[in-house]
Amino acid sequence: MTSMNKALTSPKALGSLRSNMRPYMTRQNKRRAKWIAIVVGLIMLGSMIYERSHTVAISDARIASDVIVISSNRTGWITDFPVSSGQSVEQGQLLVQIDDRAAQLALAEIDVEIASKDAAIARSRNERVMVAEEQASLLASQREKVKSASANARKTESALKLAQSNFDRSSKLREKQLLSKKRWEEDELALQQARENNQQAASNLNQQTAELRKVKAQQLSVQLLEQNIAIMEQQLQALKLKRDQMQLDVADRQVRSPKDAIIDKTFGNVGEYIAPGRRLLMLHDPSDIWINANVKETEVRHIRPGMTAEVIVDAYPDHTFSATVRGIGNATTSEFALLPNPNPSGNFTKVTQRLRITLDIEQVENLLKPGMMVEIKIDTRT
C-alpha cells in the first residue's frame, strides 16, 4: 500500500492525471459559458422586449427655438454695430444704430413749431380774458344806462299824462269862462314841455337800447376768440402727433433687442447702406427651447401629452435630460411638403407616415442649442 501511494503521488503520476482530466474540464467550462451566454442573452432580450412594450424611441429629434430675424424698416447708413455672433444681449439693448441726423434735425424743427404754437395759444387766451372782462364791464354799464333811461321815460310819461289832464280840465273851465287865459296858457305851456321831455326820454331810451344791442353783439368777439383758440389747439395737437411720428422715426433707427437673447449670426457692418426689410442679425432666447420629433403613425396611439421622456443629446452623451410631451401634431409631415406626391400613375407603395410631436425641456447652463440632434425615449406608462 505504501509503494502504491508513493506511485500515485509522484510528480509523473500527477502530471499524467491532469492531462487526462483537462479535456473533461474544458468541455464543462464551454458548456457552462454557453449556458451563461444563453441566459444573459435571454435576459437582455426580455429586457429589450419589456422596454419596447412601454417605450417609444425616436432617434431623429432636434432641439428647436424661435429664431428671430431682426431687420430695419428705415433706410440709411449703419453708424454702429456693437454686437457680434455668440454674444448675450438684454431686452432693449442696442443692436444696430442707423444714421439719424436728419431725423434729429426734423424733430428739433417740430419742437420749435410746437413752442411757437403754445405761445400763440397763451397770447390768445390772455386776449380772450381781457376782451371778456371789458365786454362784461361795458354790458353791465349799458344795462344800467338802459335801466335809467327806462325809468326816466316812465317818469316823463307820467308827467305828460298829468300835464294833459291839467290842460284838458283848464280847457273845459276856459270854455265856461271860469278860468283865466293866463292860467290856461300856463297849463298849455306845461303840456308842451311835458311832451318834449317825454320825447327826449323816449329817444334816449331807444338810443341806450341800441347801444345795449351793440354791446351784446360785441360779445361775439369773445366767441370768435374762443373758436380761434380751439383751432390753434387742434393745430397744436396735429404738431404733437407729427412730433410723435418723428420720434418713432428716430427710435426705429435704433434697432434694439426684443428680449433677453443670444446673437446667432450678424449680416452687416458699420458703413453699409441698408434698405427696409434688410436682415441685420438673428437671435434666439436660450431659455425658450423645446424638442421637435417625428414619430411613426403606428406608434402615435401610445403617446399622450404629459408623458415623460428620457433625452440623450448627441453633444453630451454622458448626460441624461428629461422632457415632457407638450402636444401632438394634427397632420403628417408629408402634408407640408413643397412637392406633394399625388401618385398619378397608380403605382402605390405604402410608406409609414410620421407626425410631429413637441416636448418641453428645461435649459441647463445654456448647453442646449437649437438644431442639436437628440435621442428620446418616451415612457408610455406615465
Answer for the pair 280, 255: CB distance below 8 angstroms, yes or no.
yes
Give pLDDT tens digits for 101-118.
999 999 999 999 999 999
Type of residue numbered 159:
A
**Helix (H/G/I), strand (E/B), else coil: 109:** helix
Check residues 292 and 348 and name the one with the higher pLDDT. 292
DSSP 189-249: HHHHHHHHHHHHHHHHHHHHHHHHHHHHHHTHHHHHHHHHHHHHHHHHHHHHHHHHHHHHH
Burial class (CB in 10 A: 0-12, 13-18, 19+), 340: exposed
**Residue 71 pLDDT greater than 70, yes or no:** yes
Using the CB atoms, write b or e for 22-61: b if 16+ within 10 Å.
eeeeeeeeeeeeeeeeeeeeeeeeeeeeeeeeebbebeeb
**Helices 101-175 & 220-252 angle (0-180, nearest 10):** 170
Helices marked H in the chain: 2-8, 11-53, 101-175, 181-218, 220-252
Residue 243 CB-density burial (10 A; 0-12 exposed, 13-18 middle, 19+ buried): middle
Q: Is 137's pLDDT higher than 70?
A: yes
Mean pLDDT of 322-348: 76
Those residues whose C-beta lies under 8 Å from the C-beta of residue 201, and which sit 6 or more positions away, are 149, 152, 153, 155, 156, 157
pLDDT value at position 264?
A: 92
Does residue 251 contact residue 72 with C-beta atoms inside 8 Å?
no
CA proximity to 263, closest of 131, 140, 87, 136: 87
Is pLDDT larger for residue 87 or for residue 174? 87
Q: How far apart are CA 359 and CA 56, in angstroms?
A: 13
Indicate the SS3 state at residue 287.
coil
d(CA 254, CA 79) in angstroms, rounded, equals 10
Q: Which residue is associated with the grid cell 442649442?
A: 369
Model's pTM, two decimal places?
0.61
Check residue 11 and give its pLDDT. 54
How far is the C-alpha of 118 from the C-alpha of 131, rounded, in Å?
Answer: 20
Identify the pLDDT of residue 48.
58
What would the pLDDT profile of 3-50 be if each residue is shown by its tens digit?
444 444 455 544 554 555 555 456 667 677 777 777 777 677 665 555
Estimate the crossing angle of helix 101-175 against helix 181-218, to 10 degrees: 170
Residue 356 has pLDDT above 60, yes or no: yes
DSSP single-letter state for residue 372: -
What would the pLDDT profile of 160-180 be if each residue is shown by its tens digit? 888 888 888 888 887 777 777
User: What's the confidence (pLDDT) of residue 9?
Assistant: 47
Average pLDDT value for the chain: 84
Q: What percent of the chain has pLDDT over 90?
A: 41
Residue 263, pLDDT above cutoff 80: yes
Predicted confidence at residue 3, as pLDDT, reads: 45
Selection from 96, 117, 58 nearest residue 237 by Cα: 117
CB count within 10 Å of CB 222 equals 18
Question: Is pLDDT above 80 for 343?
Answer: no
- pLDDT at residue 149, as a whole number: 85
Give the whole-angstrom CA distance, residue 380 versus residue 301. 10
Question: Is-contact 304 119, C-beta < 8 A?
Answer: no
Residue pair 299/285 in contact (Cβ under 8 Å)? The answer is no
Residue matched to cell numbers 442639436: 372
Grid coordinates of 58: 425616436
Rg (CA), the chain: 56
